[in-house]
Structure 1
């Protein structure tokens, strides 16, 4: 029966691929903060240029189960997956940003309310406010321990846009708000992140044209944000 069943399933697959109902599927995994706003706001541009595609967008912390969840492409902060082909695509930095009206209240960043970010499992790799003040040669006193705290980069950025304080925001997240004038840089000093953003694509997915197209598009979007003129 096996040869007949094999032919039958091949015929069914051929019919499905030739019908209008067939749409390619892509499973994309990114850090949670990126899934909540940055990437979800941009996916329409990919679909518009590459046609209808079923995309499963996942916000995951590392490590991710590539094979169990059939993940096609993973964007992560730092290299995590030696068992799959990975590449470094861009290195970001953090910038002190706040709402425009907040900077009019003081000429010293130390006098502004601070927004702290709990970076999660990779927190040791991200600069804290204490690190930033040390690099700036400023003694913040107890102010560095006070203020609001959020457990995601996106949430901290939203708090800053609302005028509740100044946040240390990654360029990839804050570039758009800076370009639109919803945020301003509260100080010129930025601190480069210790690790780059990396893309990991398992070999089973690397041969797919759709995955290659999404890879190229995602790299371009990441580099455009990190390389925004407002961050220079």
Structure 2
């Protein structure tokens, strides 16, 4: 076992003071956050600099100005503190083990996963799940997650996969909108505002192709970064939403949106569960993978490894 060198492992109080100063942008803000005096924060920063053997801040008129080295150090230290905090909260929440840290897409988590999770937790009482939203890809070496549910292709670096389902698209609009603008064919969408997600720039092209019709002239687009925002915009009559069918069916069943023309048109991409190879045997992850596969089978979808 390699011994850890004390010089390169500063006391946690020094790192917390440094982290607070960097985030707050001042000694005063850091002192307020940590419940310490400004002089104590300054002494902690000086002790950290002495232990590292270099200056992290430039002193100017009682202000601390971070150096470039401090910026690099902060990025790493901030991530390390988050890992420590997550590990501690997970241990406190479930001292017997069995915690799964999962990164998820926000709308998928709230509209598809969350309603199903109580049954999983009931069937697996020794397991707890921590959910954190992520829009963009990350590396499992840099983020403290056991797995991620994401949309796209099976191209997550260094990962193993379980394919959940392909995305299928349904166009929807509010009942009042359709009463004022009836849509009998694709040409009737001329002049309409077509709502779309920033991460699905080709989705409307796929939908019109699925209707065997060109996109009519005069349509305009409105980009949004979350499906939840798009749903509310469509319900308010702002335009026509193009939703994954699993989301569209929720709004349709509640009568808040109505489908337009052919529903469930094949889109591009799929929903995946991915995990780092080194965690493939993690018991909570194994249970969660098996449960997801059961959910897909119940919905008539064959989930498979890639």
Deviation at residue 189 of structure 1 after TM alignment: 5.0
In structure 2, do the counterparts of structure 1 residues 57 and 222 end up closer, same or farther at CA, with 3 Å as the change threshold?
farther
- The question of 1:203 aligning with 2:277 is answered yes
Give the Cα–Cα distance (whole angstroms) in 2 for the partners of residues 26 and 47 of structure 1.
11
Whether contact under 8 Å (1:46, 1:217) holds in the other structure is: yes
- The question of 1:114 aligning with 2:189 is answered no
Q: Which runs of 5+ in 2 are unaligned?
A: 1-90, 302-306
Deviation at residue 81 of structure 1 after TM alignment: 2.0
- 2:131 aligned partner: 57
**Pairing of 1:126-141 with structure 2 (within 5 A):** 126-128=202-204, 130-133=205-208, 135-136=210-211, 137-141=213-217
- 1:191 aligned partner: 265
In structure 2, do the counterparts of structure 1 residues 219 and 161 end up closer, same or farther at CA, with 3 Å as the change threshold?
farther
- 1:14 aligned partner: none
Q: Give the TM-score normalised by structure 2.
A: 0.56
In structure 2, do the counterparts of structure 1 residues 221 and 37 end up closer, same or farther at CA, with 3 Å as the change threshold?
same
In structure 2, do the counterparts of structure 1 residues 180 and 221 end up closer, same or farther at CA, with 3 Å as the change threshold?
farther
Whether contact under 8 Å (1:98, 1:163) holds in the other structure is: yes
- The question of 1:79 aligning with 2:158 is answered no
Whether contact under 8 Å (1:133, 1:140) holds in the other structure is: no
Deviation at residue 171 of structure 1 after TM alignment: 1.3
Whether contact under 8 Å (2:103, 2:134) holds in the other structure is: yes
SS in 2 for 1:194: strand
Deviation at residue 76 of structure 1 after TM alignment: 2.0
Q: Give the TM-score normalised by structure 1.
A: 0.71
Give the Cα–Cα distance (whole angstroms) in 2 for the partners of residues 100 and 226 of structure 1.
30
* CA deviation map 1:185-220 (0-9, x unaligned): 111154312222222122333213321221233344
- 2:25 aligned partner: none
Deviation at residue 26 of structure 1 after TM alignment: 0.9
Pick from 130, 140, 148: which aligns with 1:66?
140
In structure 2, do the counterparts of structure 1 residues 117 and 222 end up closer, same or farther at CA, with 3 Å as the change threshold?
farther
Give the Cα–Cα distance (whole angstroms) in 2 for the partners of residues 90 and 38 of structure 1.
12
SS in 1 for 2:142: helix
Q: Which runs of 5+ in 1 are unaligned?
A: 1-16, 228-232
Aligned-residue CA RMSD in angstroms? 3.1
- 2:241 aligned partner: 167
